[in-house]
Amino acid sequence: MQCFSLYDEKFYEFKHKSGLKIQILPKKGFRRKYAYITVDFGSCDSAFMYNGKRIDVPHGTAHFLEHKMFEKEGTNIFEKFSKTGAECNAFTNKTMTSYYFNCVDKFEENLEILFEEVFVPFFTPESVEKEKGIIIQEINMYRDDFQAVCQQNFLGLLYKNNPIKIDIAGTEETVNSITPEILYKCHKAFYRPEFASLTIVGDVDVENIEKVLDRVNLPMYHDDIIERIQPEEPEQPASLRSVCKMDTSYNLFAFGFKDNPSKYNKDERLRRKIVGDYVVELLFSQTSDLVDELYRSGDIYSLYAFYEIAENYGFFGIFGATDNPDKVEKAIRDYIANILKEGIDNNLLQIIRRAFRSWNVRMFDSLSNLATSIVFCNNDGYNLFDYCEAHDKITEDEVNDFIKDLLCKEMVVTIVEPKGR
């Protein structure tokens, strides 16, 4: 068992004999407790080898599986949690699916329910067919959401083969092709302890958690060989520009740059993630010179940016709303060109570094934020304390190098225009 210390907090990390990774951050004096079981299976997992046999997965399967894991034979997980006074939910993203609850009382009983939810599958043809209609309705709803369409079109420009360009829920066609057999295969392949982690935050006893783990009798599949299949992806964007028309009163835009995560190992990706967040704050936060000028001139209604990097994808995106997308595009290109020439303001970098350090400290007083931060850090291959400590090691040169490396690449441009213009 490893124990990390930071900000007078202790963080325990160890592996159960089943292979399940355990992460516990005790918070004495807090009444509410949080627990997450996160499975290393997300929307980008579209094909894998299982003991030498290839299995192709319809897009949307991870999200579909998330929906179905709440239903058990003769009962419903929502009802079980409700009887103990717990709140529960789940989410699926590109690389993982996470199931969680929070409660004040009966924590260990709720934890056993969570294990049942994740590791005991139950799918019938009737329930799968019923769920298809619900998810297809959800997909159709997002077709009318111009912000969702703008972001999906943006990813479609960046990526040629990577499943990241497909909506997490899939398409109507792919959802209709999902069967109970496919769900059972994916569950058996990925809903196993060695591909999962348990994250707990709250006033809990580590020894009692270990007793629960032994009591629930987790399955062990150490002899199976699972290999993910990732399509080859070119370094260049699939295309550079797209325009579509929707029923909106203003233009939406998404500008961005495609990164190449294969150039970085796990530790380098951690540093690059932090540097990318710094660049977002330096160049595109509400206090940046560019954004301030665009708001003052009335050229934008909104603007925000973010940077994402994982093992198989990475990009920097700038999103917003405007009446004049061409003017905003030129302003952003000119602004980046000037930053490439002049470099960043080191004094501003130090202010932002202190702000991030402050945010990290405050996070430890919000158990829900703390738990989700641990989950997302773990999914990216490092723990939360690694992330917090890495902030103090980022240099001005790294930030400038990031801008020169990524923001000088070809910029992709996605526009959603109002109909009739």
Residue with tokens 């066609």: 173
If we measure between CA atoms, which residue out of 107, 103, 61 comes closest to residue 85?
103
Within 8 A by CB and 6+ apart from 238, the residues are 156, 157, 158, 159, 160, 165
CA 357 to chain centre: 22
Catalytic residue among 9, 13, 66, 116: 66
Active site residue 112: no
**What are the φ and ψ backbone dihedral angles of 178, each rounded to 5 degrees?**
-75, 135
Q: At what angle do helices 61-68 and 125-143 cross, to 10 degrees?
A: 120
The Cα–Cα gap between 46 and 98 comes to 18
Reduced 3-state DSSP string for the chain: CEEEEECCEEEEEEECCCCCEEEEEECCCCCCEEEEEEECCCCCCCEEEECCEEEECCCCHHHHHHHHCCEECCEEHHHHHHHHCCEEEEEECCCCEEEEEEECCCHHHHHHHHHHHHHCCCCCHHHHHHHHHHHHHHHHHHHCCHHHHHHHHHHHHHCCCCHHHCCCCCCHHHHHCCCHHHHHHHHHHHCCHHHEEEEEEECCCHHHHHHHHHHCCCCCCCCCCEEECCCCCCCCCCCCEEEEEECCCCEEEEEEEECCHHHCCHHHHHHHHHHHHHHHHHHHCCCCHHHHHHHHCCCCCEEEEEEEECCCCEEEEEEEEECCHHHHHHHHHHHHHHHHHHCCCHHHHHHHHHHHHHHHHHHCCCHHHHHHHHHHHHHCCCCHHHHHHHHHHCCHHHHHHHHHHHCCCCCEEEEEEECCC
Which residues are designated catalytic?
A: 66
